[in-house]
Structure 1
Amino acid sequence: MADISLRKARTIIRKAFEKGREMQLRPLSVVVLDAGGHVQAFEREDGAAPGRFPIAHGKAYGAVMLGMSGSAQMARAEQQPYFMAAVNGVYGGQVIPVPGGVLVRDKKGVVIGAVGLTGDTSDNDAIAAMAGIDAAGLIGEA
């Protein structure tokens, strides 16, 4: 199984933070998960709320476990709330179905992990996450 390397995970985080500063976003927290949903890297900017890790993780975890972006999960939750509630139960309440959970694919289209970013609005979180993924030479689905 292909995964996101630690080097690429660090690039994603660094470039997402840079994009956040460029956009003047609130302090961000970013987690990068491998294809199995395991944490490859996490960082929280100075001033970010200490409880941001589980939010970032929940956004990324839902993306990788369901194989769909946070935006797609949110749309599904709006259309089929019982389904998403059941899915969240299956995963122990760890899924946060909103933008900012970005599925990551390699150049061949294989899912290799996900990025979860939190700290600003969900849409801005997704923009910053995509900037990091693009900078690492990977393909993101926000």
Structure 2
Amino acid sequence: MNQLKLDTASQIIDVALAKGRELALAPLCVVVLDAGGHLIAAKREDEASLLRPDIATGKAYGCLAMGFGGRELARRAERSAPFFTALSGLTGGKVVPVPGGVLIRNREGFLLGSIGISGDTSVKDEECALAGIASVELVADTGDAM
């Protein structure tokens, strides 16, 4: 597989949301982007707050824009705040450098897209993303060693 399709993105999202319910998390919003940063699919649970779609998109977009997962984005943002301030301006505020943004790769390491989840803590959001990606037998790249 060298391209994420709608049915695959939908399954990733549905499993991620189910994981959120299993963990009794706050209402989530899940976004899946293709490798070019284009929206494939998104779902926002009832009562998820107003900015959740934007935050989820920013998590997914930031990973694609910089080429690594949200954990590495967070580490770099912590070490180089001025760069990330400039990056935020350059992208119109589209980059959210925290866990919960995960690159999606095939087994050969080819980049297929990304997922962003927002609603609970970033670490819990990421846990849901990992469950969704695993459900379709793809590889999650969080920014930590794979």
Please indicate the TM-score interval, normalised by the length of the shorter structure.
Answer: over 0.9
Structure 1 unaligned residues grouped into runs of 5+: none
Q: Quick check: 1:96 aligned with 2:100?
A: no
Task: Describe the SS at the equivalent of 1:95.
Answer: coil
Look up the equivalent residue of 1:109 and give its one-letter code. Answer: G
Q: How does the TM-score come out when normalised to structure 1?
A: 0.95
Q: Distance in 2 between matches of 1:23 and 1:98?
A: 20
Aligned to 1:43: 43
Q: How does 1:33-112 map to 2 (within 5 A)?
A: 33-112=33-112
Q: Distance in 1 between matches of 2:35 and 2:96?
A: 17
Task: Describe the SS at the equivalent of 1:46.
Answer: coil
Structure 2 unaligned residues grouped into runs of 5+: none
Q: How does the TM-score come out when normalised to structure 2?
A: 0.93
Aligned residues: 142
Q: How does 1:119-138 map to 2 (within 5 A)?
A: 119-138=119-138
Q: Percent identity?
A: 47
Aligned to 1:24: 24
RMSD: 1.3
Q: Deviations over 1:67-106 (max 9, x none)?
A: 1111110100111111222222221210000010011111
